[in-house]
């Protein structure tokens, strides 16, 4: 038995399994009290012919809540409360809602922030207050919710503000503060297990109060404006679907500065690089994120891309952050440096209290390298629309500088596989390329060629023009021995087995003849960071693990909706129509 890839480090999900909140708390949307059905989600956009689903479509919808019952308090035996005059909206940042003694010091002034960006000059816990028509939150994951019945809301506020290290969110009905204490009710959310919490249903006249204590890693810039003289030449002009992103009040997001992105004590650019760091945003670049996920198996390759950013291991800092990402210019096959600032593009369709990202999200443990690599590649290729739809091999060429990129596709007439590349076998020369994958497709296209010889990088080394499933598996396995990179593209057709149509996946690992059972397996990852095969022999709770306990003991599968799953060789060739190979030996980039 052999494994796919020399580097088989422990997945982050395996390291963090004991720290993860229960599955019911890992959903991106959960209903808050009082419950009612969420609004219908918008229909997904149609897929273009290449591998693009129009983005991960994983921005959570807010959970709706029913309006308060009129005229009667919560407990029937008690007399109804006297009419209460409608209270004015809560001014954000004011202390009107709280006891006079405020345990959370105010944030530094804009002037102080501009003069001294040392993070030690300001408190890192910052209170945000909102009126809401729903009293609900939007979140990536949510920690434990604690309901307090018959307890004083004012005392609850004091507890909430006195322990920001424990609590992150609080909600209550505004008028209920003046009810008898035994009829009051409020809800607290623990900070542990909660990520990217934001208030929904913001309404200055709302009947619910929503309080959030945010952790700000660094002080914000004045008016949340990155210094003009340090801005890159891309961010302000970025557009998506033909629409300028940052116009009017919508500003780019500076991570870790209280704008709702990466307000995380563990914030860093590069840490423990892992394929699970990738979480696709609203851009239809699954092909790129899948390619990046495959590169992440080789830590050194990612670090090489950022090698011209001084002291990258110490970033980000409180001062304005500038990153240099070194990519390959495909028309010249020379390296180019793409210089970008720390700002990330905001989603123009956000409806929450804080802006959400258009592009990929930070990792669960606060790493930002995927966000900045994706931004640099978008800038290099001509913008977000230029990277909507594509193929893994194009991304690998940009990141590695390797011309030898191959695509295996099934011949419908023979049901066997053929090898294709941007190589003219008649002229025996590689075709010219562009950084924009769409321009590249329009100019050159691909040619069918004989299957390459693994380790030789010649286009005529293997005389076979077509291969069976078993032969393709052996070819992929041989690629493993020299640490090539592998990906796959799914079929269309609306299957209901949990697979996404026309979507790019990363092939992380393969197992040949597992434990002498004759079973060949692939470990695959969805760049969305969620969504897996259903009813597979070896899905997270598949029957194969119980039937073959020796395989389970060897592979140690972790049950989590993180987009990583196992498929048999037969399932793989049933679900996937395309295999991508980057014939670049990545051995030098392996790290323990």
Query: Mean pLDDT in the chain?
Result: 80
138: which strand partners?
Answer: 198
> How far apart are alpha carbons 267 and 288 in whole angstroms?
24
Asked if 286 is an active-site residue, the reply is yes
Domains and CATH numbers, the chain: 223-397 (no CATH), 404-589 (3.90.70.10)
The whole-number average pLDDT for the span 233-240 is 96
pTM above 0.85, yes or no: no
What pLDDT does residue 501 have? 87
pLDDT digits (tens, 9 = 90+) for 392-439: 999 999 999 999 999 999 999 999 999 999 999 999 999 999 999 999
Dihedral of CA atoms 17, 21, 22, 27 in degrees, nearest 10, equals -110
What pLDDT does residue 25 have? 35
> How far apart are alpha carbons 523 and 567 in whole angstroms?
7
In the chain, the percentage of residues whose pLDDT exceeds 70 is 76
The whole-number average pLDDT for the span 560-582 is 92
Do residues 472 and 478 lie in contact, with contact meaning Cβ atoms separated by under 8 Å? no
More reliable by pLDDT, 540 or 457 = 540
What pLDDT does residue 443 have? 61
Q: Which of 10-24, 98-112, 390-404, 524-538 has the highest mean pLDDT?
A: 390-404
Between helix 392-400 and helix 369-381 the angle, nearest 10°, is 100
What pLDDT does residue 137 have? 87
Residue 245 has pLDDT above 70, yes or no: yes
Residue 56 has pLDDT above 70, yes or no: no
Least confident range from 26-30, 207-211, 226-230: namely: 26-30
pLDDT digits (tens, 9 = 90+) for 435-493: 999 998 766 678 999 998 887 655 544 556 899 999 999 999 888 888 999 999 998 87
Selecting among 254, 261, 286, 419, the annotated active-site residue is 286
Selecting among 279, 404, 438, 503, the annotated active-site residue is 503
What pLDDT does residue 125 have? 85
Asked if 442 is an active-site residue, the reply is no
Distances (CA, A) of 334 to 188, 232, 382, 400, 405: 55, 22, 17, 11, 17
pLDDT digits (tens, 9 = 90+) for 73-93: 334 444 444 444 443 444 433
For 212, the enclosing helix (H) or strand (E) is strand 208-215
Instruction: Phi first, then psi: give them for residue 446, nearest 5 degrees.
Output: -130, 160
The whole-number average pLDDT for the span 245-266 is 87
Do residues 408 and 579 lie in contact, with contact meaning Cβ atoms separated by under 8 Å? yes
């Amino acid at each position: 038995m052999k494994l796919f890839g020399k580097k088989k480090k422990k997945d982050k999900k395996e390291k963090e399994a004991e720290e993860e909140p229960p599955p019911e708390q890992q959903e991106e949307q959960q209903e808050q009290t009082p419950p009612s059905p969420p609004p219908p989600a918008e229909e997904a956009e149609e897929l273009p012919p290449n591998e693009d689903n129009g983005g991960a479509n994983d921005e959570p919808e807010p959970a709706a809540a029913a309006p308060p019952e009129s005229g009667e308090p919560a407990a029937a035996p008690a007399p109804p409360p006297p009419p209460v005059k409608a209270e004015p909206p809560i001014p954000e940042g004011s202390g009107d809602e709280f006891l006079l003694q405020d345990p959370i010091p105010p944030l530094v002034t804009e002037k102080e922030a501009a003069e001294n960006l040392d993070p030690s000059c300001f408190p890192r816990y910052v209170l945000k207050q909102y009126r809401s028509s729903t009293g609900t939150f939007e979140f990536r994951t949510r920690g434990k919710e604690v309901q307090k019945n018959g307890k004083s809301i004012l005392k609850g506020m004091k507890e909430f503000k006195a322990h920001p290290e424990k609590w992150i969110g609080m909600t209550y009905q505004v008028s209920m503060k003046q009810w008898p204490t035994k009829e009051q009710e409020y809800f607290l959310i623990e900070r542990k297990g909660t990520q990217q919490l934001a208030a929904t249903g913001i309404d200055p006249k709302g009947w619910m109060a929503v309080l959030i204590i945010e952790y700000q890693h660094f002080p914000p810039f004045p008016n949340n404006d990155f210094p003009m003289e340090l801005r890159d030449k891309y961010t302000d002009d970025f557009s998506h679907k033909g629409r300028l992103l940052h116009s009017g009040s919508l500003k780019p997001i500076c991570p870790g500065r209280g704008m709702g992105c990466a307000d995380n004590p563990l914030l860093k650019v590069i840490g423990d690089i892992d394929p699970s760091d990738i979480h696709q945003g609203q851009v239809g670049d699954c092909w790129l994120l899948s390619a990046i996920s495959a590169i992440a198996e080789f830590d050194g390759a990612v670090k090489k891309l950022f090698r011209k950013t001084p002291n990258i291991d110490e970033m980000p800092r409180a001062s304005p952050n500038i990153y240099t990402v070194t990519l390959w210019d495909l028309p010249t096959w020379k390296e180019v440096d793409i210089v970008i600032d720390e700002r990330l593009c905001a989603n123009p369709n956000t409806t929450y209290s804080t802006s959400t990202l258009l592009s990929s999200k930070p990792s669960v443990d606060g790493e930002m390298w995927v966000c900045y690599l994706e931004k640099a590649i978008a800038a290099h290729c001509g913008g977000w629309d230029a990277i909507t739809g594509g193929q893994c091999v194009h991304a690998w060429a940009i990141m590695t500088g390797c011309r030898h990129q191959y695509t295996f596709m099934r011949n419908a007439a023979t049901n066997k596989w053929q090898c294709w590349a941007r190589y003219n076998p008649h002229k025996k020369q590689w075709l010219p390329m562009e950084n924009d994958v769409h321009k590249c497709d329009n100019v050159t296209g691909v040619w069918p060629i004989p299957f390459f010889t693994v380790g030789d990088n010649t286009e005529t080394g293997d005389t076979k023009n077509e291969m069976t499933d078993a032969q393709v598996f052996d070819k992929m396995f041989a690629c493993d021995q020299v640490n090539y990179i592998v990906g796959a593209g799914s079929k269309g057709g609306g299957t209901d087995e949990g697979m996404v149509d026309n979507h790019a996946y990363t092939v992380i690992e393969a197992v040949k003849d597992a434990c002498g059972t004759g079973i060949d397996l692939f470990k695959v990852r969805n760049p969305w960071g969620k969504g897996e095969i259903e009813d597979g022999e070896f899905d997270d709770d598949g029957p194969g693990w119980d039937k073959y306990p020796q395989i389970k003991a060897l592979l140690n599968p972790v049950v989590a909706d993180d987009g990583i799953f196992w498929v048999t060789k037969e399932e793989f060739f049933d679900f996937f129509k395309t295999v991508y190979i980057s014939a670049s030996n990545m051995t030098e980039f392996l790290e323990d």
